[in-house]
Amino acid sequence: MKIAILGSGGREHAIAVAISKSIKVKEIFCIPGNAGTSEVAKNISIDLNDFERLYKFLNKNNINFVIVGPEQPLVDGIVDYLEKFGIKVFGPNKIASQLEGSKIFTKNICKKYDIPTAKFGVFENKNDTKKFLRNTIHPIVIKADNLAAGKGVYICNNRDESKIATDEIFDGKFGIAKNILVEEFLKGEEMSYFIITDGKTIKNFGTAQDHKRVHEGDKGKNTGGMGAYSPSRLVNDELEKKILNKIIKPTLKGISALGTKYKGFLYAGLMIVNNEPYLIEYNVRMGDPECQTILPKLKNDLMDIFLSCTEEKLDQVTIDWNSKKSLCVVLCSNGYPEVYKKNVKIHNINKIVLDENNYLFHAGTKKQDNKIIAIGGRVLNFIALSNDFSLARKNVHINLEKLDWKKGFYRKDIGFKVIDQ
């Protein structure tokens, strides 16, 4: 089979490496890809917003199957568009993808199907929002309704912070804002829970804890993710049953009631309070960097799993996992998540030791004259598997320290809740 992977991040590199091991896969194209994907695939420079040009390329090159990595093309309807031409696509359609595309859409499903989540209010302008916030007990959570690359969430400890959040969202920091979501602040611990489904069968696809804040100790601004570890320290059989029965299954029932099936990955961002799960938000694809953290533990042929989803045969697949623990640290450009320099050369990347327990996935990189150049905020993902989280982090740091790149930084405390506390 000829496969196309849409996206350019660490998630897409991890997927490309995983499916490159499949005997079913003859050739992989990454659109647009990065320096890492070029080692296992052909990178093709096509704007993912240009559906027509994308289809023409797929058709001309007889590409049989498309895997969609990032959220934007899913929310924009790339699955619906390509399926019209008979191309198999792994990922949810446009209606189902609104679970990530609109936080208010998701909240309304929660309300209708009694899915546990934070209490919330929806506001259409600055004045009404600020009037409400003046009489509201803080901390409070304020969210942009639309996609915001993981950065459109504000935890506001006082009225000044909530005023800044309101202004930034309505002033267009994350695109045109028609609505704003104000939520109750839930005090607990976050967990990422993943499933894969073909519209009929649900299979667990791992758990993780992401580290969103830019600075150590979970301080500073939100990012796309500074690192993760898997499995989550919170997961247990009783909690999993609650997550599936109270959150996942009612959500999929809600999507089904809209006349469609949910197919693909579903990532539930949860707050766990006294072993009770509350839905924070959904992502309609694998998380990044959670994908890079989880996929190295997969024993199966990933391509078989993707095919079974599109053919509604997931019930015939048993997903097997390596029992080791996994930890990922993301190396970022100085200044991220704000302004950072691009086109900066990274030295000594060839000194990184990679094997069955140590992985490196590229994100914001490109190749230029056989050199690796940093072009993004999140640049490289270092992963280690071990029987012990502490050793996994130590091995990640050993590889990180081999690089010669003074323009980058990383959090040294990824996994602190399972290692240092």
| pLDDT at residue 148, rounded to an integer | 59
| pLDDT at residue 151, rounded to an integer | 63
For residue 408, what is the domain's CATH number?
3.90.600.10
What does the alpha-carbon distance between residue 384 and residue 396 come to, in Å, rounded to a whole number? 6
For residue 141, what is the domain's CATH number?
3.30.1490.20
Residues 260, 312 within the same domain: yes
Least confidently predicted of 185-189, 246-250, 257-261, 324-328: 185-189
Instruction: Give the DSSP per-residue string, 358-383.
Output: EEEEESSEEEETTEEEE-SSEEEEEE
In degrees and rounded to multiples of 5, residue 239 shows phi and psi of -65, -40
Look at the block and give the residue holding tokens 């072993």: 275
Counting Cβ atoms within 10 Å, is residue 257 exposed (0-12), middle (13-18) or buried (19+)?
Answer: exposed
> Is the pLDDT score of 193 beyond 90?
yes
Average pLDDT over residues 352-376: 95
| pLDDT at residue 82, rounded to an integer | 98
Residues 133, 237 within the same domain: no
Is 381 among the domain residues? yes
Residues 156, 251 within the same domain: no
Residues 203, 296 within the same domain: yes
Is 112 among the domain residues? no
Boundary-marking domain end, from 316, 344, 363: 316
> Is the pLDDT score of 129 beyond 90?
no
What does the alpha-carbon distance between residue 100 and residue 110 come to, in Å, rounded to a whole number? 13
Boundary-marking domain end, from 254, 282, 316: 316
Residues 308, 342 within the same domain: no
Is 119 among the domain residues? no
Is 118 among the domain residues? no
Boundary-marking domain end, from 295, 316, 337: 316
For residue 37, what is the domain's CATH number?
3.40.50.20
In degrees and rounded to multiples of 5, residue 244 shows phi and psi of -70, -45
| pLDDT at residue 90, rounded to an integer | 98
Residues 272, 242 within the same domain: yes
Q: Which is higher by pLDDT, 45 or 135?
A: 45
* Enclosing domain of residue 54: 2-91
Q: Tell me the average pLDDT of the chain.
A: 94
Residues 339, 267 within the same domain: no
Residues 42, 76 within the same domain: yes
For residue 233, what is the domain's CATH number?
3.30.470.20
Residues 9, 82 within the same domain: yes
Is 117 among the domain residues? no
Residues 312, 329 within the same domain: no
Residues 230, 278 within the same domain: yes
Is 97 among the domain residues? no
Residues 44, 68 within the same domain: yes
> Is the pLDDT score of 150 beyond 70?
no
- Per-residue pLDDT tens for 29-69? 999 999 999 999 999 999 999 999 999 999 999 999 999 99
Is 113 among the domain residues? no
Average pLDDT over residues 79-101: 97
The band of 174, judged by pLDDT with boundaries at 50, 70 and 90, is confident
> Is the pLDDT score of 250 beyond 70?
yes
Domain count along the chain: 4
| pLDDT at residue 396, rounded to an integer | 97
Mapped onto helix, strand or coil, the DSSP state of residue 104 is helix
Is 96 among the domain residues? no
In degrees and rounded to multiples of 5, residue 55 shows phi and psi of -60, -40
